[in-house]
Amino acid sequence: MVINAMERIIKDLLDEYKNRLYLHCTCDECLDDILALTLNKTLPRYVTKEENITYIKANFVDKQELTSLLVKLAECAKIVSNRPICHNT
Amino acid sequence: MVINAMERIIKDLLDEYKNRLYLHCTCDECLDDILALTLNKTLPRYVTKEENITYIKANFVDKQELTSLLVKLAECAKIVSNRPICHNT
């Protein structure tokens, strides 16, 4: 098993802030789009053990990095909001 | 659902070449280590639909990129082989 710790970290961030990102649509398709777009702009941090994800979150993702992740997330949210591929809007 | 197409592409490459990479150990732990290390050195290509993985593989990963992925995989295989964290060797 390999997992990109950033997938979990950015997904948690999106869940936490999705109601403050001025999204036109919060359907699963749009949220997945935002997540994929953000992850494609973020250096991966793959781990081979589940417990290492918490370790990565606690040690490698400091306040400043979380803030820059949030900025990146907001930018990607805007891109997807302006050109949603879902059919809800 | 989001998935990094490179996870599937590099895993397939590792499965195909693992018997030609002079690995001291081919246990799951070592193979996961090699996969994680290689993925951490590779730009992610997240997609939101399973079928897009085949599309990525066919369109974005040309012969030259596959060769450079294989070189990267061989380098990471060497790193893990020289310092295995599994207890089999």
- pLDDT by residue (tens digit) across A54-88? 888 887 677 888 899 999 999 999 999 988 777 77
Q: Is A1 on the interface with B (CB under 8 A)?
A: yes
Q: Is there a contact between B2 and A36 if contact means CB atoms under 8 Å apart? A: yes
- Whole-angstrom Cα distance, residue A33 to residue A77? 9
- pLDDT by residue (tens digit) across A7-61? 999 999 999 999 999 888 889 999 999 999 999 999 999 999 887 888 888 876 7
| Contact criterion met (CB below 8 Å) for B28 and B84 | no
| Contact criterion met (CB below 8 Å) for A56 and A9 | yes
The H or E element that residue A58 is part of is: helix A51-59
Q: Is there a contact between A46 and B33 if contact means CB atoms under 8 Å apart? A: no
Q: Is there a contact between A40 and B45 if contact means CB atoms under 8 Å apart? A: yes
Q: Give residues with Cβ within 8 angstroms of A9, minimum separation 6.
A: A53, A56, A57, A61, A69
Q: Which of B1, B32, B44 sits opposite A48 (nearest CB)?
A: B32
Beta bridge partner(s), residue B3: B47
Q: Which of B2, B32, B40 sits opposite A32 (nearest CB)?
A: B2
**From the CB of residue B43, how many other CB atoms can be counted at a distance below 10 Å?**
11
Q: What is the ipTM of this complex?
A: 0.89
Query: Which residue type does B12 have?
Result: D
